[in-house]
Structure 1
Amino acid sequence: MGEAATGRKLLQITGTDRLKFLQNLVTNEMARLDDRLVYAALLTPQGKYLADFLVTEQDGAVLIDVAQGLAPDLLRRLSMYKLRADVEIGESPLHIQRGLDDASDSRPAGALPDPRHPALGWRAYTTQPGSAEATDWDAIRVAHLIPETCIELIPNETYILEAGFERLNGVDFRKGCYVGQEVTARMKHKTELKKGLVPVAVQGTAPPGTPVMAGEKEAGVLYTQSGGRGIAWLRFDRAGGEMQAGDAVLRRVS
């Protein structure tokens, strides 16, 4: 049995158009759902992040594993796009489990690797709730520069390429159109990213969301921290030396 994925909600889409419906909306390829998880996002038409989620297909339903705080708005937006598609959208009765152990006999049936990074282990959608959370998931995220919903990923503000979605297997540049695709493709092919999420070494602590200062100039924002490291969103042209975030001193690292 795995740990319960606290703070998460499972939505489901059923009906004959379920894959085609989602394919036209989200950043990744839905044809890859056979026996795997796919990481994807829903964007605004202007290319800004609205929600990120893990998607799979199980027993004739597309399952969407999303942060609990974003689930109601995501459900509303998906329903808005429904139009004449043969789909039903609602909450799933299944529970979300996750874990790190590699032994197949200790994982629930149907457990699938997290596509964002091998260090995130596996996830499973089961009729039984998982055990109490015991893993320091923030430490794993900080070590591998993996952003979290509503911390580093901010609705109506974040651009997914600045948040590392290409590295995290969350966007497919070969698929057809989806909401926000034009802006995302332009950022990929016609511009050089000048800001984004980067790892930093941190001396001291500061609340997530603390502005980062490079001298007198604001350079970005410090977010999750663990074990003397952190995730920060920085302007690259101002991130060359020692910076300050509240009482914390930080420096960009590779």
Structure 2
Amino acid sequence: MTTTVVRVDDIDVVRQGNLLLDSISLTVREGEHWALLGANGAGKSTLLGMVGAVTHPTRGTVEILGETLGRVDLRELRTLLGHVNPRHPLHSPLRVSDVVLTGLTNSVEPVPRWSPTPAERAEADRLLSMLGMAGKAEMRWPTLSQGERGRTLIARSLMPKPRLLLLDEPATGLDLAAREQLLSALDTLRLEHPELATVLVTHHLEELPASTTHAMLLRAGQCVGSGPADEVLTTDRVSKCFDHPVRISRTDGRWSARAERVAPAA
């Protein structure tokens, strides 16, 4: 039986009197790759905060790696998760390899008097190579493109060998080539780590890797579709989610959305 990594059971989230999530349930199992989609303000980041052990729900239950929020130290639980934030707050000119190694200490900068083992350095190099960053371990963080930073941060998040990887709009700010390199790297990652579960947040279907297995559509804090990706990412459901008529197609495993042509006025 496949192991459950995340179980969100009928949660509500209320902040300052506003209902941000309304009766949301989600189960993520080992090896599943979920996409959370919806317009701005739909509740995607709020739900990711629950799944990432950052915040608690107002009502309902959230279990992550067998631990229930409210009964576990969130800081300790977060060390077992991989979280890729494209707004990583690093400002110093660290080498790429050192950025990746900070994933072991869960810190932005290297921890004083801490030194990685040769095996840990070799693992950092392996992950960089797998993600298309071979030969760039000595480059400095400020010189990297946005796409190179994204792939470096994915390698960093994988250093502690998490069972769950969270990707918060990883294609933000990427040009076409960088986006395609990132999505290809995610497909490779998922192939080489079949036990890993992932949850990816995005506004755009074009930013979904072909390896996406499941999807949830959120609109104004409510779920308008959840389950296997091909059953959820349909023309009717996506149109309802974004409150705009679009036509959904899938080619070579990748999704695209086009606005329905509006007939000219008579």
Higher strand share: 1
Higher relative contact order (CA 8 A, sep 6+): 2
TM-score of the two chains, using structure 1 as the length reference: 0.24
